[in-house]
């Protein structure tokens, strides 16, 4: 097992990330301001303090132990990327009846200001509430078409007044004519909040096909490659927002992982790659929780110790982060190397897993020592 000292990122790196409000560092460290007694997230929009008045801590609990209180603006005690209550309510409204369009009047009837709702939804989800509803309705309509219902039936169910309007909306949204969409693979997507920021999860009938950090600049090309891999098998893929049993299971298991209550994921995954890539990803999943391996060790475990570079490329093409734990591979020197979500997140994940292992080991030692202590006392 390779080990490395896991601590905060370098001071200069944290100062740069804090100044840039870099979302890739959200959750990986916290910023405390001596002059105000407040600690913040790296993405806090408050007026930046002087550099000499700033301290950095790996966890919110560390800052609290040093006497700092949580910032009321960026709310560092809340989960990074957590859904605002209003956004969660809007999503629940859509899921309760995907075929129905929620209007401004509907929102006013339940005491919600439409402009506030639209602003918060776009800020959190990166798209408008209207666009989300439209994509969800069309996704439900595509599912209707796949059950061989008529175009008219599916279009009316999605809220369209004519077949032509329905066909136009399908083509604009999915880039495919209606005749080809009915045979497409429907992939369902959702945003999952984590302590390290929002992640985008995409699921197929066979399992999870993508789990990645939502702020990654390469996320859009990754989705394009995902579609291309389905196309290579002669199947067009359309991605629609919504709920799916695999996504619900993933949300529950991810929470348990970040809470330190889960080491192994049971939710099905369906990675798309070459035979070598799939072997590399299987080797990643074989690395025990809380441990690391070098690229050379991973290659050796696959039966070809010389394939170090090929292993690195395969790891870089992994689209299912955390479940396929490419964060557990480090350089032979013990240093952290490339990770799509950013080295700060890689460091955080490794530190989190090691802390969970140490905590559970301590509990085991206590349970074993307690009977002996009682016998000594007697």
Q: What secondary structure does DSSP assign to 114-144, as a single string?
A: HHHHHHHHHHHHSS-HHHHHHHHHHHHHHHH
- The boundaries of the domain holding residue 145 are 81-183
CATH number of the domain within which 212 lies: 3.30.160
* 212, 225: one domain: yes
* 178, 85: one domain: yes
CATH number of the domain within which 53 lies: 3.40.10.10
* 117, 193: one domain: no
Are 151 and 201 in contact by the 8 Å Cβ rule? The answer is: no
Q: Is 71 a catalytic residue?
A: no
Q: Is 326 a catalytic residue?
A: yes
Q: Three-state DSSP class for 220?
A: helix
* 286, 338: one domain: yes
Residue-wise pLDDT tens digits, 292-312:
999 999 999 999 888 999 999
- Residue 223: the pLDDT is 84
Low-confidence ranges of the chain (pLDDT < 70): 1-7, 79-82, 126, 140-183, 365-378
- Residue 163: the pLDDT is 59
* 233, 312: one domain: no
Element containing residue 57 per DSSP (H, E): strand 54-57
- Residue 4: the pLDDT is 37
* 60, 98: one domain: no
* 158, 137: one domain: yes
Q: Both tokens of residue 47?
A: 């007026």
Residue from 44, 71, 125, 326 carrying the catalytic annotation: 326
| Domain end point (choices 129, 148, 183) | 183
- Residue 368: the pLDDT is 64
Number of domains, the chain: 4
* 201, 294: one domain: no
Look at residue 350 and tell me if it is in a domain: no
Look at residue 367 and tell me if it is in a domain: no
Q: Both tokens of residue 245?
A: 């049993």
* 147, 216: one domain: no
Q: Count Cβ atoms within 10 A of the Cβ of residue 197 and give its class: 0-12 exposed, 13-18 middle, 19 or more buried.
A: buried
* 103, 159: one domain: yes
Residue from 40, 44, 71, 125 carrying the catalytic annotation: 40
- Residue 366: the pLDDT is 60
d(CA 77, CA 72): 10
- Residue 5: the pLDDT is 38
Residue-wise pLDDT tens digits, 16-74:
999 999 888 888 899 999 999 999 999 998 888 999 999 999 888 788 878 898 898 88
CA 248 → CA 89, 187, 208, 252, 367, distances in Å? 17, 14, 11, 6, 35
């Amino acid at each position: 097992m390779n080990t490395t000292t896991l601590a905060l990122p370098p001071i200069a790196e944290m100062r740069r990330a804090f100044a840039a409000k870099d979302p890739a560092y959200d959750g990986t460290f916290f910023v405390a301001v001596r002059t105000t007694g407040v600690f913040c997230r790296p993405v806090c929009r408050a007026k930046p303090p002087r550099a000499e008045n700033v301290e950095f801590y790996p966890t919110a609990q560390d800052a609290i132990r040093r006497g700092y209180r949580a910032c009321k603006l960026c709310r560092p005690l809340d989960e990074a990327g957590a859904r605002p209550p209003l956004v969660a309510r809007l999503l629940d409204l859509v899921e309760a009846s995907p075929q129905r369009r929620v209007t401004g009047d509907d929102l006013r009837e339940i005491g919600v200001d439409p402009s506030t709702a639209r602003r918060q939804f776009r800020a959190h989800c990166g798209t408008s509430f209207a666009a989300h509803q439209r994509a969800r309705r069309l996704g439900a309509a595509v599912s209707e078409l796949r059950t061989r219902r008529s175009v008219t039936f599916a279009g009316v169910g999605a809220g369209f007044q004519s077949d032509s309007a329905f066909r136009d909306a399908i083509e604009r949204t999915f880039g495919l004519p209606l005749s080809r969409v009915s045979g497409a693979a429907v992939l369902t997507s959702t945003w999952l909040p984590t302590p390290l920021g929002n992640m985008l999860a995409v699921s197929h009938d066979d399992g999870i096909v993508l789990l990645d950090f939502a702020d990654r600049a390469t996320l859009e090309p990754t989705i394009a490659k995902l579609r291309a891999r389905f196309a290579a098998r002669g199947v067009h893929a359309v991605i629609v927002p919504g709920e799916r049993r695999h996504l619900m299971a993933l949300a529950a298991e991810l929470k348990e992982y970040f809470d330190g209550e889960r080491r192994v994921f049971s939710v099905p995954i369906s990675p798309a790659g070459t035979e070598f890539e799939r072997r590399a990803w299987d080797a990643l999943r074989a690395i025990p929780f809380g441990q690391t391996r070098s690229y050379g060790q991973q290659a050796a475990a696959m039966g070809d110790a010389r394939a170090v570079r090929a292993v690195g490329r395969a790891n870089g093409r992994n689209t299912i982060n955390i479940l396929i734990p490419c964060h557990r591979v480090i350089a032979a020197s013990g240093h952290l190397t490339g990770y799509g979500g950013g080295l700060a997140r890689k460091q955080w994940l490794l530190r989190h897993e090691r802390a969970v292992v140490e905590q559970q080991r301590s509990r085991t030692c206590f349970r074993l020592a307690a009977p002996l202590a009682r016998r000594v006392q007697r």
